[in-house]
Each structure stands twice: as C-alpha cells, then as structure tokens.
Amino acid sequence: MADDVLERFFGRGVPRLGGPPVANPRLADPVGLQLLYDEPLELEAPEVEKALRDVHPDLSAATAELYFVPPHATPASPDGVDPAFMGLLGWDRHVVKVVGFTAPMPRPAVEACVQPAHIGAQFKDIAYRHQAHVMLYYAGYDHDPMEQYVALAAAAGALAYFGGSFVLNETARTAVPAAVLHPHEEDGGDLLASFRKLPLPFLFCGFVKLEVEGVAGVWMRTHGCHRFGLPDLAIRARGHDVGSATFELFGNVLAYLRHSGRQFAPGDTVQVGDDAFLRLRARTDAEWYLESEGEMLVAEPIAEHEVNR
C-alpha cells in the first residue's frame, strides 16, 4: 500500500474517475502553500480525511493518504532536513501533494513571508517560533490557477485544525493566520466561494511595502501575479497611511484584468477613481527592488489631460 502511494505521489499511474488520486506529472512548477505548526506534527490520514470532507460538500468524497518516511529511507536533503511524511489529498479533479517536516521551515524563507505580512509583531514572533511545517503543492488536473489555489487553501485550512498557525505563500511573499482559512459566518456556508472572492494580493499573490534608502516615500508592490498570467504592480506612495487604499487598488486592477482578459502594457493609462489617473511603465534597471518573476508595471499618478485618448 505504501509503495502504491509513493508511485502515485510521483505521478506514476493512470488517474481514473472514482479511483485513487495520481499526481499530475506534467506540472513542472506547481503553485504551493506552506503551513507552520506551533507544536509537533501529529497527523493521521483518517482524521485529515474527515477534516477535508467537512470543508465543503464538493469535498464530501475527499481522500487522504499519508506515508510516514523511515529516517533511513531517504538521503539527506541539501538543508539537512528530511521529510517525516509524504502524502496525497484528492477529490474530484484536484490532487494536493503533502510533504511534512518535524523541523522548522528555513528561517530566511519564513522571514521573507512573515516580515512584510500585515499582522502584529506578537503574531510574527509566534510564526518565527514554529516547530514543524508542511509543504502543499498542487498536483491535480484543473488548469485554472484560481481553482488550483482554492484547492490548496481548502487543504491548508483542513490541515490547520491539527495545530497549524500560519499559512505562507513563498512565491507571493505573504503570510496569513491559518484560522482565516476556516469557515466563518460571512461565508454563508460556501467556504470555497469565499476563497474565490479573496483579493488576489491577500494570499494567492502578495502585497509588500518597502522603504528604500535614498528614495522618498514608500514603495508598495505585489509578488506572484505571474501565476495568474498577470503583471506585478508597483507604486511609490507618500507614506504607509495609504497602504490599505493601495492594497484595494491593486486588488481591483488585478481582478479587472483577470475577469476581462485585457492586458496592460507600458505607456497605458488607467482611470482608478473619479479624478485619479495612472500611467504604467516598466521598471528601470536601478529599481532592483521591483524585480519580478514575471512582468512588472510601475504606476505613476498623472493629470486627466495626460490620459491616452
């Protein structure tokens, strides 16, 4: 049985409707989330499976399989930490790979996500003191990156019931309390629909504020939008006090691009309010802090008469 799980974990097998999940071997660079634990990992497949099935009716037939790795069975990883277990979560067309570690996540990776997160310092300290972590990778057959991330969020929320404290997105450089991914009254009983409505910069992409030495103001930018085929966005704001407004602006622009199928290019102008207009440009070589894995568009305020006609 364990050998069969590992075979399917590595994409060896033929997926069949109603059959056990088989990881999609064609996903070379899958989206992922990371889950931090305040206490030692104690996961058992039946309990994880039940938690998954309780997330939403769409997961009523979800399965969870975990293979606990003997310490001597794998070579040492480059950072000296070997996985404690590997497994597959599956439902419908979705498959999620689970890799658990009984040690903390590497500190630089955690800091890159937690330091810019919009949470109190006391909560960041809790994240830094975590004892174990789980890596989640999408390994299913839905091509929509939103549905891939929704599946990961559902899996992370279920696994968080067993001591998870924070969910990270390394690509997006962001972190949120794990309880955010649990059901709430405002979900109206449809947690997956709530995930689909999350502003992209909240978790599936990231929103970071930067103070750059020698540069006035505060740079605000996104990370990880390339996962949706969208550009990252940046703007130099007057101060931290406009952070919430800028987060909302970026979320609205990205939602517009995703739903409309439109594309922006350097030189385009955008109206973002009754009397607010922006021109988009590419980042300069000197703006190293705006480097992006995909396209980066920098927004600069302009007057109405400067708008492209």
> Can you give the pLDDT of all 309 residues of the chain as single tens digits?
567 999 999 999 989 888 899 999 999 999 999 999 998 898 999 999 999 999 999 999 999 999 998 876 554 554 557 899 999 999 999 999 999 999 999 999 999 999 999 888 888 999 999 999 999 999 999 999 999 999 999 999 999 999 999 999 999 999 999 999 999 988 888 999 999 999 999 999 999 999 999 889 999 999 999 999 999 999 999 999 999 999 999 999 999 999 999 999 999 999 988 888 999 999 999 999 999 999 999 999 999 888 876
Q: What is the pLDDT of residue 29?
A: 94
Q: Name 258's Cβ contacts closer than 8 Å, sequence gap at least 6.
A: 146, 200, 228, 230
Backbone angles phi, psi at 181, to 5 degrees: -95, 10
| Burial grade of 145 (CB within 10 A; 0-12, 13-18, 19 or more) | middle
Q: Is 285 helix (H, G, I), strand (E, B) or coil?
A: coil
Domain boundaries of the chain, sorted by first residue: 2-197, 206-306
Q: What is the pLDDT of residue 119?
A: 86
Residue with tokens 């396209």: 295
Distance CA 203, CA 190 (A): 18
Q: What is the pLDDT of residue 78?
A: 47
Strands 232-237 and 296-302: parallel
Q: What is the pLDDT of residue 3?
A: 77
pTM score: 0.94
For residues 142 and 131, the answer to whether their CB atoms sit within 8 Å is no
Q: What is the pLDDT of residue 186?
A: 87
Q: For the packed helices 145-159 and 45-53, what is the interaxial angle rounded to 10 degrees?
A: 120
Q: Is 100 helix (H, G, I), strand (E, B) or coil?
A: strand
In this structure, the dihedral spanned by the alpha carbons of residues 219, 225, 230 and 234, taken in order and rounded to 10 degrees, is 0
